[in-house]
Amino acid sequence: MNPIEITVPRLQRENIHAITLWPFIFYRKGFQDDIALRCHEFFHWRQAARWGVIPWYLTYLALQLFYFRRAADQHPLEAPAYAEQREVLRLLANEESIGEHLATLRVSTKA
């Protein structure tokens, strides 16, 4: 099973470009083709599928209370997704292959 990817005109806040609400991934218009962002969201989608959707969301929200005023990449469930996103950006900047990342997360090149 793969996520159902949907592009919407806007999301909750201006600085949010995508959000995973399993089984969906919602992208703000203009960000649906950002492959690094898609890897980030697919990472969350796989986390939720692996942990179980309800336990993952409850854990995410509980941790959000402690990490509310910190940088998003310090949240324990966000940190590995941001690391994945940064690695894809690094590989793209160096004109290296991102195929391994795409295959691991089962990310298609088109939304």
Report, as an integer, the average pLDDT of 11-22.
90
Tokens at 82, concatenated? 């941001």
Instruction: Confirm whether 70 is domain-assigned.
Output: yes
User: For residue 111, what pLDDT band results from cuts at 50, 70 and 90?
Assistant: very low
Instruction: Confirm whether 77 is domain-assigned.
Output: yes
Give per-residue pLDDT as tens, 52-72: 999 999 999 999 999 988 998
- Total number of domains constituting the chain: 1
Return d(Cα 16, Cα 30) in angstroms, integer. Answer: 12
Per DSSP (E only), the strands in 11-86 are 18-21, 24-28
Instruction: Confirm whether 13 is domain-assigned.
Output: no
Q: Give the domain range for residue 62.
A: 33-105
Q: Which residues contact 1 (CB under 8 A, 6 or more apart)?
A: 23, 49
User: For residue 1, what pLDDT band results from cuts at 50, 70 and 90?
Assistant: confident
In the predicted structure, residue 82 carries a pLDDT above the cut 90: yes
Threshold 0.85, pTM exceeds: yes
In the predicted structure, residue 105 carries a pLDDT above the cut 50: yes
**In the predicted model, what is the mean pLDDT of the chain?**
92
pLDDT score at 100: 86
Instruction: Confirm whether 74 is domain-assigned.
Output: yes
Return d(Cα 28, Cα 36) in angstroms, integer. Answer: 14
Residue 73: exposed, middle, or buried by beta-carbon count in 10 A (0-12, 13-18, 19+)?
middle
Instruction: Confirm whether 8 is domain-assigned.
Output: no
